[in-house]
Chains A and B, each alone.
Chain A
Amino acid sequence: MEDPDNSAQKPAATAGSRKSGVLKLPLANRCGPNKQGRTNDESNKNPAKSRSIRQSLWYALYFPQLSELSESQQTQILTELAGLAENVSATVSFHSQALVCEIRSTLRYFDGIDNINSKLQSLIVPALQNRSLGDSFLYAASPTVSGSLLLARSGHNALVYQKENLRSALGKLSVDVLDLQKEQRRRLHSMGVRKIRDIWRLPTEGLHKRFGSNFVNSLSKAIGKSPEPTRNYIPSPEFSASYDLPNEVENLHYLLPIIDEILIKLRDFLIQRDLSISRLRLSMIHEKRSRTEIDIGLRQATRQGDHLLLLIETHFAQLVVPAPVVGLELEARQFDAFLSESDTLLTEKQVGHVSKINSKNLDQFMEQLHARLGDDALKSINTVAEHCPEYATQQLNYTDKKAEISAAGVATNPRPFWLLYAPIQLTLRGSKLYHREAITLISGPERIETYWWSGQDILRDYYIARDQNGSRLWVFRERRGKRNWFLHGYFS
């Protein structure tokens, strides 16, 4: 085993026999019964060995067509394919343009590698075709992850059951299958190395020196001499819970205790996975009617059940169901990483330090407000560098605020707190202005001329005025047309 030459010769001696270490995997649609028998034969031959050292068997799927795609597309496709590969294996790991699944543990369940192979073919080929990525992939299986990958990359479709045979099987491969840099490849070539076997004949120290330890490590991983950590596929979490009510319920508030119970389940689910939730959907099932659905989106992901319950309660206050409710379903639509908040140890007020709006409380308030009044209920204001008073204030939905470039300079002349939505024309009787009461001008004018370039130019003289009641007004006179007077605001 330790002698490279010896072990390299081993498979050659047994090649072609039924117990050979290297087999050609059958094509997906041709799986002969005799080959299944061989699999069983194989596992029967070495019962002690497979029991003592539970060797794993790694099935590598290599997709050379992915190399043309961008990194993010590759990840996306591999994640999708990994989800399919989960059908045959519990452990699926990601590699460059390849997936590797552990199949030893499922070999008995599927009754042989041929079935696994055909199952994977039937799952993955349609998925590839959907994305118009051809209809084939390369595959191989061996007791090590890197070994399987190398075999798959070489396009051999090989199956190696025993670790001892792996070395010789890999040895036959060209060095091109190794994931090397151009310079390393050139150097290997100039050293006369054509096959991996040739590398094994070289002294390890020299290899370390010339190609670095990564190179040597990757080779020793391939023959199972070093451990191979892998990045495994973890399926995205899913949560949905349903509850069938024992009787029909019309008053939605009777549902709250049940929802609370489901939310407790959700909270446990989130805690176990260290997640928090940012979107969920509550569906109320009616008999003979389509279900009523409430979508709840959170500005900040949470795992607090009582906050969610409060939001649902707020929704219920406005909701009218078309028919009595017979069932409930809660479905988590989007998860988020959990971020814990830390409170200050000492609750003393930070003097001098002006904190901005505490976003957490505000978010909760806003979610409630949105749930009841609609998404555009809460506004914030901003100043705009504009001479025209009605354009100097910008009212935006609070949620849009983030992208805003803040505060422009403002006028130095006095401005009223209130502006009318549209200026009201004042009546002029004799030389007196009237708006319900007589108006006296106090100060002014302040001339505002702008928008001359748009054709809708604004030519106004603004005055501060006061009416008989004592209201302080902001009035202006048009400087064109009929030179009418308008009331535009209140100095409240």
Chain B
Amino acid sequence: MAILRDSVTQPGANIGKAFNDIACNSRETPRTRVNQLLHSNPNLWRGCDMAGQGFHGVATGYRELDDILPGRGWPRSGLIEVIARHSGMGELQLLIPLMQSVIKQGKWILWVAPPYLLNAPALTQAGIDIDQILIVKQDTACKDALWSMEKAMQTENCGLVLAWQNWLPGKVLRRLQLAAEAGDTLAILFKRNDSKYSPSSLRLQIKPSATGNRDFSRAEVTVIKARGNFRPLSAQFSLYPESLSA
């Protein structure tokens, strides 16, 4: 245990030492032993391996995405930016498992000024109880939309806030991020374009999969930025169930 405590303070220097120690004891499976040892301490950050971060996230419902997210899932609270250049990239489908789990907890989901008409049968098909969906009307001014987001996040039992705003300054994003953290809520911001700087805890870009342009269901999700992640990672996976991918 003493070795591990050291390794938190000076990871680079001591991992090798630990490796050597263990390697001396049993030559057969040194790598697995090291991995085991390192896995046992959640405080240890291993930049190369997201899986080593423990399981403190909320599973996304997509194994490939879990693999590239720190904590193997969505963060518990904070602001998530989902960047999709066009509508219809599967940006909502990506969040369906998250919405299902929020509904299951008995919390409600607020859609702040969605760009189009929300189609209730589609939500029902996706297994979401529409009784727990609330919508702030479409033609709400940006200022009021942000205000409602912040208020909703402060409200207990609000599990998820979805918003569509393209040009928000960093200051506003920071405020939303802090409100989400304080309210212990997740807020999802859908954007068309990526911004250089953003204080949000997770930034995802969703694109149609490069391979097989005619394949309906596959998408490529890139984690541009995530707290606890040091380089962009991307994964390709099928967003829609088989029945939909035709």
Complex Cα–Cα for A207 and B108 (A): 68
B12 sits at the interface (CB 8 A): no
Of all chain B residues, the one with the shortest Cβ separation from A374 is: B137
Residues of B in contact, count (CB < 8 Å): 52
- Least CB distance from B80 to A in Å reads 16
Query: Contact partner of B216 among A361, A378, A464, CB < 8 A?
Result: A464
Q: Which of A135-143, A170-178, A408-416 lies at the interface?
A: A408-416
Q: Which residues of B contact A467 (CB under 8 A)?
A: 88
A334 sits at the interface (CB 8 A): no
- Least CB distance from A380 to B in Å reads 6
Known: A365-B152, A393-B121, A414-B125. A492 touches B89 (CB 8 A): yes
Of all chain B residues, the one with the shortest Cβ separation from A380 is: B134
B93 sits at the interface (CB 8 A): yes
- Least CB distance from B108 to A in Å reads 5
Question: Do A358 and B118 have beta carbons less than 8 Å apart?
Answer: no
B106 sits at the interface (CB 8 A): yes
Q: Which residues of B contact A492 (CB under 8 A)?
A: 87-93
- Least CB distance from B152 to A in Å reads 6
Of all chain B residues, the one with the shortest Cβ separation from A365 is: B155
Complex Cα–Cα for A467 and B86 (A): 10
- Least CB distance from A367 to B in Å reads 11
Question: Do B246 and A392 have beta carbons less than 8 Å apart?
Answer: no
Q: Which residues of A contact B134 (CB under 8 A)?
A: 378-380, 398
Question: Do A442 and B91 have beta carbons less than 8 Å apart?
Answer: no
Complex Cα–Cα for A442 and B246 (A): 7
A417 sits at the interface (CB 8 A): yes
Complex Cα–Cα for A164 and B14 (A): 108
Complex Cα–Cα for A466 and B246 (A): 12
A191 sits at the interface (CB 8 A): no
Interface residues of A in 439-482 (CB under 8 A from B): 440, 442-443, 464, 466-467, 469-473
Question: Do B130 and A407 have beta carbons less than 8 Å apart?
Answer: yes
Complex Cα–Cα for A355 and B240 (A): 29
A368 sits at the interface (CB 8 A): yes
A64 sits at the interface (CB 8 A): no
Known: A362-B108, A372-B147, A416-B122. A469 touches B208 (CB 8 A): yes
18 pairs across A/B with beta carbons < 8 Å?
Answer: A356-B131, A357-B131, A357-B157, A369-B151, A377-B140, A381-B118, A383-B124, A383-B130, A407-B130, A414-B244, A415-B122, A416-B122, A417-B93, A418-B118, A442-B246, A469-B85, A470-B86, A472-B89
Residues of B within 8 A of A (CB): 85-93, 104-106, 108, 114-125, 130-137, 140, 144, 147-148, 151-152, 155-158, 207-208, 213-214, 216, 240, 243-244, 246
Residues of A within 8 A of B (CB): 354-358, 361-362, 364-365, 368-369, 372-373, 376-383, 389-390, 392-395, 398, 406-407, 410-412, 414-421, 440, 442-443, 464, 466-467, 469-473, 489-492
